[in-house]
Amino acid sequence: MSFSVTEPSQRQKWIAGILVIGYALITIMPLLWIIATGFKSPSDAIAYPPKVVFEPTLEGYVNLFTTRTRVTEEAFAALPPPATWYEEIVRDSGVVIAGPSRYGERFLNSVIIGFGSTFLCIVLGTAAAYAFSRFKVPLKDDLLFFILSTRMMPPIAVAIPIFLMFRQLGLNDTHAGMILLYTAVNLSLSVWLLKGFIDEIPIEYEEAALIDGYTRFQAFYKVVLPQAATGIASTAIFCLIFAWNEYAFAVLLTSGTAQTAPPFIPTIIGVGGQDWPAVAAGASIFLLPVMIFTILLRKHLLRGITFGAVRK
Amino acid sequence: MSNAPSDLAARATPEPVARRIRGLSDRAIAWIFVGPTILILLAVNIFPLIWTIRLSFTNFRVNRPNAEVEWVGLKNYSRVLNDPDIWMSMQATAHFLIWTIVLQVLIGFSLAYLINKKFKGNDMWTTIIVLPMMLSPAVVGNFWTFLYQPQIGLFNYVVGFLIGADPSSFSMIGDVNLAPWSIVIVDTWMWTPFVMLICLAGLRSIPDSIYEAAECDRASKWRQFWTITIPMALPFLMLAVLFRGIENFKMFDLVVQLTGGGPGSITELTSINLKREAFEKWRTGYASAYAVILFVTVFGLASIYVKALNKVKDR
C-alpha cells in the first residue's frame, strides 16, 4: 500500500476501535437485558442485585401466550398430570392454564397490517416513482415536496378527523382501515426512496426496449422492475419496519380487533404490576425481525432512514 | 434533493418512440401512475388536516355528537395561547429538543469521526450501534421503565455502582428533577446512531485530495479539522438536526410509555398534552386549534431552517 497522509496511523485505529467498541457495548446492553429477562423466572427478574447468571426458564414465554388462573387446592390436586411441557411450567407455580392470551392475535395483526400496507406502498410507490423519474409530470417538484411534507405532521394533529372519518366509513378498528392509514403514512418514504433507485437505472435500457417494439408498460415491468428489484426490496423492508413500530395511530384508533403489538406489549400485567419476563419475551419476539432486517439492510440503511436525502 | 437527473431522463426519451406506444400517451401513463398516490395522500393526510383546521374554529366535542356545534371564531386559539399548561408543555418540549440535539450531535459526530478511522471490524460495531433506532419506541420505552426501577433496575444498579450511590436512593422516572433527563437519555441512546450515520456519510464525502493539499501547506491536524472537516460536514450535520428536530417535536410513543408525562406533568411534551386534551378530555375544537398551532410551528421553524441549510450547502 502506498503512503497516504489521510490514512490513520495504527495507534489512531486502536484508540478509535476501543472507544467505538466501548460505546457499542453500552448500547447493546439494554437489548441483551431484554432478551435475558425473557428467560428469567419472575423472582429472578426482580432480584437485587440484578442477576446476570440465572437458571433459564420458558415461564415468561408461556405466560406471554397464555392466561392462567388459580384454582382451589382440592381442584388442583384432582387435576390429571400435565399433558404438555408448558402446562407443567405453569403448574409448578401453582396455577393452571385458562386459555390463550391475546398476544398471538396482536402479533398476527401486526403482521397483517404491516405486510398489507407495505404491499400497497410498494405497488403505488413504484408506479409513482417511475412516473416521477421518467416522465414530465406537471408540477413535479411541488408534488414531490407535497409528498414529503405529509411526513412532517404530528400523528395526533390529524388523529381526530381520521378518527371521525373512519367512524363514518366503518373503518375504525379494522385491518383495512389501519392498512390504508399506514400506507398513507409510508407512501412518502416509498416514493422518495424508489425514485432515487429508479433514477440510477440507465434510461438507455428502456429506450432499447421501446425501439425493439415493447410498449411503455412492457418496458416498465420487463426492464425497469427487474433492475429495481434490490431497491424495491429494501424500500419494502423500511416500510414494513415503520408500520411494524408505529404506536400513536395504533393506540388512538384501535382498541380490539385490529390492535397491533406495540400498544399491547406494555399492557401485559402479572401479579402486582407488570410481568417483566412476559413483557421481555413479548418484546424479544417483536423486536427480533427488525434486528435481523437491520443487519441485512446495512448497505441501504442511511438512505432508508433519511428518505434518500443522504446517500452513502 | 434535486430532480435534475430525472428531468434529463425525461428529456432524453426519444419523442417519436414514446409516441408510438399503442393506446396511451406518456402523459396519460404518468397520471395513471401518480394518481393513486396523490389521491391517498389527499384523502388520508390533507383532507383530515383541513378538517382539523375547520374543527379548530368550533366548540365540537367528539364524545357529545348530538350537542349543537357552534362557530366560535378564534376563541380556541386565544385560549390555547393563554393556557399556562400548554406553555409548560412547550417548555418541556424545548428542553427535550435542545438537550437531545446537543448530545446526539456531539456523541454522534464523535462516533462517526472515530469510525472513519477505519479500524478493523468497524462495520460490525457500527451495525450494533445502529440497532436501537430501528426498534419500536413504545416497546423500548416500556422496557426502559424496568431498567429505571430503583433497586431492581439495571440502570440504577450500574449508575449506583459507578458513582457509589445506593441504587434505591434515586428514581429516574419518579423524581421531578431526574424525569426530564430519563427521557433525554433514552432518546439519545436510540437516536445518536442516526446522527452518527449521517455524519459518517458527510465525512466520507470529503475528498482525500483536500487533506493532501492541506498537508502540503503544512496545516496542523487541528487546523485541518476546523477548516476542512467541520465546514465540509456541516450540511450533513444540519440535515441530521432537521430530521431529529422534526421527529422529536412530534415525539409521542417513547415518552408516553416511559414517563407518561409524569411525575406531575414535568415531562408532558406537547404531543402528550395534545393527546390528553383530544382523547381524554375530549375537547375536540380546542385540541384542533392546539394541533394547528403545533403544525404551523413545525412547518415555520422547518422552512426557516431549510433556507439556512440551503445557504450553507451553496457556500
Complex ipTM value: 0.90
Query: Across residues A82-88, what is the average pLDDT?
Result: 87
Rounded to a whole number of angstroms, the CA Rg of chain A reads: 25
What pLDDT shows up at residue A52? 86
pLDDT, residue A184, reads 93
DSSP β-bridge partners for residue B71: B58
Task: Please say whether the beta carbons of B135 and A290 come within 8 A.
Answer: yes
Omega before B167 cis (within 30°)?
A: no
Cell numbers found for residue B158: 450500574
**pLDDT for position B41:** 92
Contacts of B115 in chain A (CB under 8 A): 16, 20
C-alpha–C-alpha distance, residues A44 and B164, integer Å: 24
Angle between helices B84-115 and B230-249 (to 10 degrees): 140
Across the interface, of B17, B135, B146, the residue whose CB is closest to A287 is: B135
Backbone angles phi, psi at A283, to 5 degrees: -65, -40
Q: What are phi and psi of A215, to 5 degrees?
A: -85, 170
Partners of A130 on chain B (C-beta within 8 Å) are: 33
CA distance B283 to chain A (A): 11
Select from A50, A157, A195 the Cβ nearest to the Cβ of B52: A157
Pairwise CB contact (< 8 Å): A306 & B239: yes
Of A24, A287, A310, the CB nearest to B198: A310
Of B107, B125, B157, the CB nearest to A49: B157
The average pLDDT across A97-114 equals 92
Mutate to test the interface with B, among A134, A186, A192 (most CBs of B within 10 A): A134
How far, in Å, CA of A236 to CA of A238, rounded?
A: 5
pLDDT score, position B121: 85
Find the CB nearest B131 among A252, A276, A291: A291
For residue B3, list chain A residues with Cβ-Cβ distance below 8 A: 132, 140-141, 144
Residue B22's pLDDT band (boundaries 50, 70, 90)?
A: low
> Chain B contact for A135, CB < 8 A?
yes
Q: Is there a contact between B128 and A132 if contact means CB atoms under 8 Å apart?
A: no
Q: Which amino acid is at A169?
A: L
Positive or negative: CA dihedral A142, A144, A148, A153: positive
User: What is the band of A4 on the pLDDT scale with cuts at 50, 70, 90?
Assistant: low
- Rounded CA-CA distance A49/A211 in Å is 74
Chain A, chain B: beta-carbon pairs less than 8 Å apart = 326
> In 10 A of CB B173, how many CB atoms?
21
Q: Which of A65, A54, A55, A59 is nearest to A88 (CA)?
A: A59
The total number of residues written for chain A in this structure:
312
Range picked from A112-116, B41-45, B282-286 for highest mean pLDDT: A112-116
Q: What is the pLDDT of residue A3?
A: 54
In whole angstroms, give the CA distance from residue A108 to residue B267.
33
Q: Report how far residue B257's alpha carbon sits from residue B146's, in angstroms, rounded to the nearest whole number.
A: 11
Share of chain A above pLDDT 90, in %: 48
State which amino acid sits at residue A296: L
**Across the interface, do A247 and B38 touch by the CB < 8 Å criterion?**
no
For residue A106, list chain B residues with Cβ-Cβ distance below 8 A: none
Q: Do B136 and A127 touch (CB under 8 A)?
A: no
pLDDT at B53: 93
Q: B185: which DSSP letter? A: H
Nearest to A188, CA basis, from B1, B241, B37, B50: B37
Q: What is the mean pLDDT of residues A229-251?
A: 93
Supply the pTM of this predicted model.
0.90
